[in-house]
Homo-oligomer: A and B are copies of this chain.
Amino acid sequence: MTRQERSERTRRGLIQAAAEAFDANGFVRTRLSEISAGAGVSPGALHFHFENKAAVADAVERVARARLRCAARAALNQERGALQSLMDLSHAVAVLLTDDVVVRAGVRLNDDSDRPSGHDLHKDWQDLVEALLLRAAEEGTLDTEVPTRCLTLVLVAACTGLEALGRSNPVWLSRSSVTTLWTLLLPRMVGPSALHAVDPAGRDGVIRSAVPFPA
């Protein structure tokens, strides 16, 4: 292993240990000494990679955002229609939030008012939901008198709620909970004939391909 590979491995270990600490204790209460101890490295090694706690948190959030973007790309690439892509993606995000501590900590850090972040992941999600619903309308799948703006509002609120409630009880982020959400909303989004063409439980293959990071 070259020095650069070792350094990269240490950095990844620090990000993982930081995510575990931030996820458990939040930004304010996490200490740098816990992070270096969690990664099994000296405080000096941590400071070689990160200037301070804010820099570590930025790195965790950046990795979380990259993994969420990667999941979005995988789900959207499948060309089975925008509405099915959106459902698959919502399941994939729920799996990431449940199984991947870096994604979970990144989302939590993004929400943490103790730590200003340049990004707003809720706004990213809202924009994506709205774009996919508009595309589904163009494709002719979305067949409803309900305006896209209203569907977006309810979907974003419900998904945000599942994430918030899932922090203390993972059952809110289970496959069954996310499927229940879609099963309830779909008849308000598509006509009766199109209902059979979509799968509110998501497609296994797509969800798996959107979640490439083992816990």
The minimal Cβ–Cβ distance linking A144 to chain B, given in whole angstroms, is 10
Most chain B CB within a 10 A radius of its CB, from A161, A181, A185: A161
Looking at the complex, which of A31-39, A54-62, A151-159 is the stretch in contact with chain B? Answer: A151-159
Interface: A175 (CB within 8 A) = no
Interface: A1 (CB within 8 A) = no
The minimal Cβ–Cβ distance linking A49 to chain B, given in whole angstroms, is 26
Chain B residue numbers with a CB within 8 Å of A113 are 25-26, 167-168
Most chain B CB within a 10 A radius of its CB, from A28, A146, A180: A180
Contact with B along A100-133 (1 / 0, CB 8 A): 0000000000010110000010100000000000
The minimal Cβ–Cβ distance linking A112 to chain B, given in whole angstroms, is 8
Chain B residue numbers with a CB within 8 Å of A80 are none
**A3 vs B39: C-alpha distance when bound (angstroms):** 58
Chain B residue numbers with a CB within 8 Å of A150 are 180, 183-184
Interface residues of chain A, those whose CB is within 8 Å of chain B, are 25-26, 28-29, 111, 113-114, 120, 122, 146, 150-151, 153-154, 156-162, 164-165, 167-168, 172, 177, 180-181, 183-185, 187-188
User: Could you give 23 example pairs across A and B, Cβ below 8 Å?
Assistant: A25-B114, A26-B114, A28-B28, A28-B29, A113-B168, A120-B168, A122-B168, A150-B184, A151-B184, A153-B180, A154-B184, A156-B161, A156-B165, A157-B157, A157-B161, A157-B162, A157-B181, A158-B161, A159-B161, A160-B165, A161-B161, A161-B162, A187-B188
